Amino acid sequence: MTQITLPRPDDWHLHLRDGAMLRAVAPETARHFGRAIIMPNLVPPVVTGDQAAAYRDRILAALPDGSGFTPLMTLYLTETTDPDDLAKAHADGIIHAVKLYPAGATTNSASGVRDFDKVRPVLERMAEIGCPLCVHGEVVDADVDIFDREAVFIDRVLDPLRRATPDLRVVMEHITTAQGADYAREGGDNLGATITTHHLVINRNAILVGGIKPHYYCLPVAKREEHRIALRKAATSGDPSFFLGTDSAPHLDPLKENACGCAGCFTATNTLSILAEVFEQEGALDKLQAFASENGPHFYGLPVSDETVTLTKGAPVDYPKKIDTAEGPVTVFDPMMPLHWRLD
């Protein structure tokens, strides 16, 4: 197979930031994707419907003229989230989901949840109105190894939360473990899971072997090779539980390349080429459409795009190594392999 035509894919987990960064990176996603679930962890975070609407307007203003890209907004769940404001924003079509960050788990998560009992009324309201909860699934307990945080979160937090609110639709964001894939696969119609592009490509050796590689550092951190293999199996299976959420997360190079570098891989520029390469390696090009274009819309109750994109196999594609912003450069994720699939 040397050519693939797909319904225009969507990105079900995306960071666009704000200001100069937003203006620089939004066109990279809009070039390839029709829609994206936009993460709300700005500073300050997006916690009300009015703030989500204002952020949506800034995103639309940053897009190239004639772009058909649609940002799907979310609210940042806090222990003081107003259920009525949330429900109104959902009913008005301003938001499509709510994001749960355990406090301290990742970038700009200080305003996240510490006491899960305090958000139960909000979760129950979300279950009533059909608003999905997108979960950053890691515990932050000091006694839990960073490589075990996802598996422990499933046992200690996620499974009890779902049992207490069984009608709540939940997305396990950016799963990184075999345990995460197994739980999502067995979770029923109310549970889905996004898988990033970079977690299909790297394991923890990419970060640590031969010196620290800050541009492969992300949260949740990449795990052992056995987990990468499990994620590839899940993504390429065609199982509707799994769909693409790049977690493309731009940071300025000086903020990545320092003594306490930021977590995140910027993959918006070359994600579709990388995915085609991965799915071809797995002998599963026929499953790429389900993962990138169909399973996500089905979970969120949205139509599959009636637009198409075409990927053609040929000579290796020369993607830029960096994206320039008004505040400095952002490094594009390097998959450490040639990319032969070009988006026409």
- Cβ burial, residue 339 (10 Å; 0-12/13-18/19+): middle
Alpha helices, DSSP H, located in the chain: 19-30, 49-62, 83-91, 120-129, 149-153, 159-164, 178-185, 205-208, 225-235, 253-256, 271-281, 288-289, 295-300
SS3 134: strand
The whole-angstrom separation of Cα 16 and Cα 14 is 6
DSSP string, 183-225: HHHTS-TTEEEEE-SGGGT--THHHHTTS--GGG--SSPP--H
Question: Could you confirm whether 182 is annotated as catalytic?
Answer: no
Which residues are paired to 171 by β-bridges? 134, 192
CA 260, 264, 265, 266 torsion-angle sign: negative
Cβ-proximal residues to 256 (8 Å cutoff; 6+ apart), any chain:
214, 215, 217, 262, 264, 331
Q: Which of 10, 11, 239, 247 is catalytic?
A: 247
Q: Please tell me what DSSP assigns to residue 113.
A: B
Token reading at 97: 């989901």
SS3 135: strand
Q: Please tell me what DSSP assigns to residue 338.
A: -
Annotate 151-165 with b (16+ C-beta within 10 A) or e (fewer): bbbbeebbeebbeeb
Active-site positions?
247
